[in-house]
């Protein structure tokens, strides 16, 4: 037995904190009371002056790919240090699971961002994946089945509609994933092959979610006022992309989760009010709509995200043709003007071995060093990376927008980050969740009880994760202990977490102060079947 004494308890429900004790037995919470008298043999943990919450649940993650690494610990360490104990993975259509077992396109699974290198195996089904990770990974993992993953397994990256047989096979794969315990389905409409999917195909995916009462998370076709997805003139592109989601959800009672509400480029910020209005309008029409945000003002993506779909579909020779390069140049120049987002705002995170000199530099800096135009330098960088490089981009938002959205009742919190083996890291791996807590304490975020609810029970409820997300008898003992004074005074720009004092995953102590138990985290995590 472990007895947590004299803590300020935020139970995850959104109600006010209260002073009390928590008793856990093995991996479960058994009592939550004002005062529990310890018995002989119990381990007593004095938490006077500290606050306790359920372990934080990251609502949007890709750590399914890292849970199956041969040595997954290093990929989870910074997240544990910021109080995260569980992840909803498989987002943006790019899940590590849910594909045709004998596919010849396994190299396409992962969309260029992820691959099965240095992993314990390849797991086509959710059942196989859960069996592999249960008690063999640091944190708890729920998984969405990705549309990109299933589609790639039956048709590769071909720019076409699926045949009737291919569509049936794809939908069967996704339905099997839900039956095996996937917490929902995900779309990545900005990534191959999701960019090639038509409305009817996407509605089929939506109907599956409605049938099983599971959410569908969507990375839309555009997250900026201007993109390479639609013609330049007319309605802002991120709103056009949202119109597509409205059409997909129309006439259903589905759960729709708009992934990472961001506004790429300064001229995109003005779309915020209409986006929020549309989302709330969907709620009024009976669609169970939600969205998620991170506390960072930049994001990470594949190097090809800047390139239009038509250009990505060209052969290498066609990409180098002068006419296609001229067309691309005109489009990108216009985009820079219309978006308020330029080559100075794109930082190279990783190209590949031998190209470390480019890491951390903007495309504009690199172009100057090369003595080339920014576009030519960028295309060179794409080719150097075999079109698989990684970039950091910003601004995606402003502090004011993050503050406003964080208070919306339909909002969940997430990191959308992962630890890379090489190159510049996404700062969200270090202190994304402590920043939300700091903003609450400083009055710029939601109330502390609501902030904690949005990173615990609200995520669990949204994704049908049972018996997690609350400090409640019978629930798993995922517990995060933090110091509000250290959170309030912490520096959110440092590349390490702050304010998190202790973390327990399934009752196992994995973090105590600055000390991470590297042996304990080998087996502390569980598969979270929905």
Asked if residue 33 belongs to a domain, the reply is: no
Other CB atoms within 10 Å distance of the CB of residue 248: 21
pLDDT computed for residue 493 by the predictor: 77
CA distances from 523 to 61, 133, 361 (A): 20, 9, 38
Asked if residue 450 belongs to a domain, the reply is: yes
Q: Provide the number of structural domains found in the chain.
A: 2
Query: Taken in order 458, 463, 469, 472, is the CA torsion positive or negative?
Result: positive
Considering the domain architecture, whether residues 203 and 338 belong to the same structural domain is answered as: no
Considering the domain architecture, whether residues 280 and 189 belong to the same structural domain is answered as: yes
Considering the domain architecture, whether residues 268 and 154 belong to the same structural domain is answered as: yes
Beta-ladder partners of 479: 54, 504
DSSP string, 384-435: HTTT--EEEE--S--HHHHHHHHTSTTEEE-------SSSPPPTHHHHHHHH
Asked if residue 74 belongs to a domain, the reply is: yes
Q: What is the pTM of this model?
A: 0.93
Q: Is 123 helix (H, G, I), strand (E, B) or coil?
A: coil
Considering the domain architecture, whether residues 174 and 259 belong to the same structural domain is answered as: yes
Identify the H or E element spanning 333.
helix 322-339
CA distance 511 to 516: 5
Considering the domain architecture, whether residues 233 and 284 belong to the same structural domain is answered as: yes
**Six-digit token string for 38:** 């310890």
Considering the domain architecture, whether residues 246 and 172 belong to the same structural domain is answered as: yes
Put the strands of the sheet holding 288-293 in their side by side order: 145-146, 185-188, 215-219, 255-258, 288-293, 411-413
pLDDT computed for residue 308 by the predictor: 81
Considering the domain architecture, whether residues 162 and 79 belong to the same structural domain is answered as: yes
Query: Taken in order 197, 183, 389, 302, is the CA torsion positive or negative?
Result: positive
Nearest to 137 by CA among 519, 508, 526: 526
What are the counts of helices (DSSP H) followed by strands (DSSP E) for the chain?
Answer: 18, 21
Considering the domain architecture, whether residues 259 and 110 belong to the same structural domain is answered as: yes
Asked if residue 530 belongs to a domain, the reply is: no
Nearest to 410 by CA among 283, 284, 530: 283
Full domain range(s) for residue 381: 308-388
Considering the domain architecture, whether residues 183 and 243 belong to the same structural domain is answered as: yes
Taken as a whole, the chain contains a residue count of 530
Nearest to 95 by CA among 136, 145, 49: 145
Whether the CB-CB separation of 174 and 197 falls below 8 Å is answered with no
Considering the domain architecture, whether residues 287 and 343 belong to the same structural domain is answered as: no
Asked if residue 520 belongs to a domain, the reply is: no
Alpha carbons within 13 angstroms on the beta-carbon side of residue 135 total 3
Q: What angle do CA 385, 390, 393 make, to 5 degrees?
A: 140
Residues 6+ apart with CB under 8 A from 98: 90, 124, 125, 126, 145, 146, 149, 150, 173, 174, 176, 177, 182
Asked if residue 22 belongs to a domain, the reply is: no
User: Residue 158 burial (CB < 10 Å; 0-12/13-18/19+)?
Assistant: middle
Nearest to 144 by CA among 107, 109, 113, 177: 177
Beta strand pairing status for 299-302 and 390-393? antiparallel
> Of 327, 357, 388, which residue constitutes the final position of a domain?
388
Considering the domain architecture, whether residues 362 and 461 belong to the same structural domain is answered as: no
Asked if residue 218 belongs to a domain, the reply is: yes
Strand ranges for 189-317 from DSSP E: 215-219, 255-258, 288-293, 299-302
Q: Is 221 helix (H, G, I), strand (E, B) or coil?
A: coil
Considering the domain architecture, whether residues 79 and 215 belong to the same structural domain is answered as: yes
CATH number at residue 279: 3.20.20.140
pLDDT computed for residue 394 by the predictor: 86
pLDDT computed for residue 232 by the predictor: 75
Asked if residue 382 belongs to a domain, the reply is: yes
> Of 353, 388, 423, which residue constitutes the final position of a domain?
388
pLDDT per residue rounded down to tens, the chain (530 residues)? 999 999 999 999 999 999 999 999 999 999 999 999 999 999 999 999 999 999 999 999 999 999 999 999 999 999 999 999 999 999 999 999 999 999 999 989 988 779 999 999 999 999 999 999 999 999 999 999 999 999 999 999 999 999 999 999 999 999 999 999 999 999 999 999 999 999 999 999 999 999 999 999 999 999 999 887 888 778 999 999 999 999 999 888 899 999 999 999 999 999 999 999 999 998 888 889 999 999 999 888 888 878 887 888 888 889 889 899 899 988 888 878 888 888 999 999 999 999 999 999 999 999 999 999 999 999 999 999 988 888 998 899 999 999 999 999 999 999 999 999 999 999 999 999 999 999 999 999 999 999 999 999 999 999 999 999 999 999 999 999 999 999 999 887 778 899 999 999 999 999 999 999 999 999 999 999 99
> Of 343, 371, 388, which residue constitutes the final position of a domain?
388
């Amino acid at each position: 037995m472990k007895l947590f004494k004299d803590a300020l308890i935020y139970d995850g429900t959104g109600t006010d904190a209260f002073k009390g004790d928590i008793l856990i037995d093995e991996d479960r919470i058994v009592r939550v009371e004002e005062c529990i008298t310890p018995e002989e043999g119990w381990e007593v943990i004095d938490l006077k002056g500290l606050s306790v919450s359920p372990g934080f649940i990251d609502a949007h993650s890709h750590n399914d790919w890292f849970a199956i690494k041969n040595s997954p610990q290093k990929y989870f360490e910074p997240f544990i240090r910021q109080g995260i104990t569980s992840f909803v993975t498989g987002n943006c259509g790019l899940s590590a699971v849910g594909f045709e077992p004998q596919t010849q396109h396994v190299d396409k699974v992962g969309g260029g961002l992820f691959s099965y290198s240095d992993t314990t195996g390849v797991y086509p089904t959710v059942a196989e994946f859960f069996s592999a990770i249960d008690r063999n990974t640091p944190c708890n993992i729920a998984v969405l089945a990705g549309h990109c993953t299933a589609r790639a397994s039956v048709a590769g990256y071909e720019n076409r509609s699926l045949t009737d047989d291919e569509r049936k096979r794809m939908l069967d794969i996704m339905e099997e994933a839900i039956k095996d315990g996937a917490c929902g389905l995900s779309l990545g409409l900005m990534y191959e092959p999701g960019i090639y999917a038509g409305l009817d195909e996407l509605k089929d995916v939506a109907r599956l979610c409605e049938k099983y009462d599971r959410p569908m998370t969507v990375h839309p076709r555009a997250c900026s006022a201007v993109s390479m997805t639609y013609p330049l003139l007319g309605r802002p592109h991120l709103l056009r992309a949202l119109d597509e989601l409205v059409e997909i959800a129309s006439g259903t009672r589905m759960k729709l989760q708009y992934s990472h509400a961001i506004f790429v480029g300064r001229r995109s910020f003005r779309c915020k009010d209409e986006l929020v209005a549309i989302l709330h309008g969907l709620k009024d029409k009976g669609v169970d709509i939600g969205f998620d945000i991170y506390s960072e003002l930049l994001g990470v993506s594949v190097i090809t995200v800047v390139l239009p779909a038509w250009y990505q579909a060209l052969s290498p020779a066609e990409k180098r043709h002068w006419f296609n390069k001229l067309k691309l140049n005109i489009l990108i120049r216009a985009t820079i003007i219309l978006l308020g987002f330029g080559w100075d705002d794109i930082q190279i995170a990783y190209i590949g071995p031998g190209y470390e000199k480019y890491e951390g530099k903007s495309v504009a800096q690199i172009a100057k060093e090369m003595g080339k135009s920014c576009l030519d330098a960028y295309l060179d960088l794409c080719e150097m990376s075999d079109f698989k490089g990684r970039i950091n981009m910003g601004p995606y938002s402003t502090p004011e927008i993050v503050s406003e959205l964080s208070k919306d009742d339909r909002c969940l919190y997430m990191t959308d980050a992962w630890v890379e083996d090489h190159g510049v890291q996404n700062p969200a791996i270090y202190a994304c969740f402590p920043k939300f807590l700091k903003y609450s304490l400083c009055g710029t975020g939601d109330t502390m009880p609501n902030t904690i609810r949005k990173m615990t029970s609200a995520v669990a409820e949204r994704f049908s994760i049972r018996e997690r997300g609350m400090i409640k008898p019978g629930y798993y003992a995922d517990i995060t202990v933090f110091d509000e004074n250290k959170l309030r005074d912490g520096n959110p720009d440092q590349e390490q977490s702050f304010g998190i004092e202790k973390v327990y995953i399934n009752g196992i102590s994995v973090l105590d102060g600055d000390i991470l138990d590297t042996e304990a985290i080998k087996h502390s995590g569980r598969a979270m079947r929905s």
